[in-house]
Structure 1
Amino acid sequence: MSQWLSRVSSWLWSLGIAFVLSLLISTFIIQPTKVLGQSMEPTLRDHSRILIAKWGHSLGETPKYGDIVIIDSRIDRKRGLHDDLLEYPLFQWMSGASGRDIFWVKRVVGKAGDVLEIRNNQVYRNGEPLDEPYLKEKMTTSGIQIITVPDGCIYVMGDNRNHSKDSRFLGAVPIGHVIGKKL
């Protein structure tokens, strides 16, 4: 009987270590996720699976122009370590939570201090039109929007501009709400 308990104990110890390691890796280094929706077409399709590099988020790095990032759209509240831990896929599955309405996959078009102008179906950054060969179709706009990206924030848009809920709807995204970037 004692040999059997020793084996069970050894297995439980190994499973516990594996769980803690996977939690740490998924929270701070790399995590798989699924794209939900058509806002990033044609670059990413609905239900595509991607890997997120999270070490930049863990280190507070600012993404580069053109990076595809995953953001927490709940920008009206401060994010903390508990948010990172609760995003662990097993915890989401156990709680029945879906990131569909919370986590958005978008492209960085502006960083702190940039002046973005959306006019004539085009995005301009600091007076220069953006070259965006990845767009699904020509963006349709009405009127002119001018946005200055605040300090500590980025401005994000989907590649399917005519069917994307992004910073035009949400506003500038605080760096702390950038969960990671697509590998």
Structure 2
Amino acid sequence: MSALTAALYGALIVYLGGWFLGHWIGNFSLLLFILTMVTMVYWFAERLKFKPAREAAARALEEGDRARRAQLAAQGIEKVDGDIAPAREKLLMQPWWLDWTAGLFPVICIVFLLRSFLFEPFKIPSGSMIPTLLVGDLILVNKFHYGVRLPVINTKIIDNNPVQRGDVMVFRYPVDPRQDYIKRVVGIPGDVVEYRNQRLTLNGQPVSLAAQGEYYEEDRLRYEPMWQEKLGAVEHRILVNPDAPSYFGGMPKNFPFADNCRYSAEGMQCTVPPGHYFMMGDNRDNSQDSRFWGFVPDANIVGKAFFVWMNFGNLGRIGPFH
């Protein structure tokens, strides 16, 4: 068993190393599920086989010692050298390969359940959601807000709150579901979304927009016009540069329900199909979103983002956001 455990740890190290070096894209949910299952097998084996065997060996040692002492006492020998306590302790000691598998099962299982059904941490990797979320923000995602989903396969088994316009959502990137993306929900099923000349229109009505001065993007070392936008009941800030080009070069793209979209030199218009959502970044001129790669199906939803729990470069970022 020690050789098998060493081989399993070796495979884990190779997988994590390749993931870290960028040789492949890892699936943390699947990895956590496998770790939970493997450590659970070791945990049950420890409770049902290995620990009882060690305890039986310790009892046999004690019984043998008592029998030896009784035999010597019958011969008139009262003082007997030898202390079996160290040997008994060694027999009861859990070997390393159980300590590093069965011993980790409770912790890994709790993390797996919390991450799968309650809250999942997520790190903002790009500036597409500036000014709402900055690169380096560590956020929490509510996994049960939209419903309870089975881990790994992401199949919804219990409905909860419906997706609302203005929600900040984490979802599996439709082009490559191994990656998680974060954007704002702009259109829900049935909505007609237009984005022409840097202006958003929903169902024929321009979305409320109010100037908020300028925002300084530290990463790009430039100022961008900032606006207050209202989607549904949610008011939030966005960056829109009226001088940026409206053309989405190369459109239309080849994505599911691409026939629902029309593109022109001024922008685009899409009708959101059933069971799908139209997503956009708050940094409108610096975001690859539904304008480029299409709609997000309900099956790809991970959860609703709602709280920045840490930003090591700016502790003032900690708190809820809209």
**Shorter chain as normaliser: what TM range?**
0.7 to 0.9
TM-score between the two structures when normalised by the length of structure 1: 0.76
Aligned to 2:268: 145
Q: Highest Rg: 1 or 2?
A: 2
Query: Which structure shows the bigger proportion of residues in helix conformation?
Result: 2
The one-letter code sitting in structure 1 at the alignment partner of 2:163 is P
- The CA RMSD over aligned residues, in Å, is 2.6
Structure 1 residues 161-172: aligned runs within 5 Å:
161-172=284-295
Q: Write the distance in 1 (CA, Å) between the matches of 2:127 and 2:100.
A: 43
Unaligned 5+ segments in structure 1 are: 84-101
Partner residue, 2:136: 47
The Cα of 1:27 is off from its aligned counterpart by: 1.8
Deviates more, 1:137-146 or 1:29-38: 137-146
For residue 170 of structure 2, what is the aligned residue in structure 1? 70
Give, in angstroms, the shift of residue 4 of structure 1. 2.4
Structure 2 CA distance, aligned partners of 1:63 and 1:17?
Answer: 34
Q: Structure 1 residue 144: deviation in Å?
A: 3.9
Distance 1:108 1:182 in 2: 11
Q: Distance between the aligned counterparts of 1:13 and 1:144, measured in 2?
A: 57
DSSP 3-state at the match of 1:135: strand
Within the candidate set 114, 117, 129, 2:191 is matched to: 114
Range with greater deviation from structure 2 (165-174 or 124-133):
124-133
Distance 2:299 2:241 in 1: 31
Structure 1 pair 75–153 and aligned structure 2 pair: CA distance change class (3 A): farther
Mapped to 1, the partners of 2:159 and 2:174 lie a distance apart of 18
Offset of residue 174 of structure 1: 0.2
CA distance in 2, matches of 1:31, 1:166: 22
Deviation at 1:145, TM superposition (A): 1.5
Shift of 1:119: 1.8
Q: Within 2, Cα distance between the matches of 1:120 and 1:9? A: 63
Alignment of 1:87-166 (within 5 A): 102-131=179-208, 132=229, 133-138=236-241, 140=244, 141=246, 142-166=265-289
Shift of 1:121: 1.8
Aligned-residue offset at 1:3: 3.5
- Please state how far the C-alpha of 1:71 moved relative to its aligned partner: 1.6
How big is the shift at 1:5?
3.0
CA apart distance, 1:148: 0.3
The aligned length equals: 160
Distance 1:11 1:73, change over 3 A: closer
% identity of equivalent residues: 32
Measured in 1, the distance between the counterparts of 2:101 and 2:289 equals 44
Give the secondary-structure state (helix, strand or coil) at the position aligned to 2:93. Answer: helix
Distance across 2 between alignment mates of 1:144 and 1:9: 60
Say whether residues 1:31 and 2:116 are aligned partners: no
Spell out, residue by residue over 1:111-157, the C-alpha distance to the aligned partner (whole angstroms, 9 max, x if none): 00001111232111111112314102346424142110000001000
Q: Secondary structure at the match of 2:104?
A: helix
User: How far apart, CA to CA, are the structure 2 residues paired with 1:120 and 1:154?
Assistant: 22
Q: TM-score, normalised by structure 2?
A: 0.45
Q: Distance in 1 between matches of 2:109 and 2:279?
A: 33
Q: Unpaired runs of 5+ in structure 2?
A: 1-89, 150-157, 209-228, 230-235, 247-264, 307-322
* Cα distance in 2, alignment partners of residues 122 and 4 from structure 1: 69
Q: CA deviation at 1:11?
A: 8.4
Give the deviation of 1:28 after TM superposition: 2.2
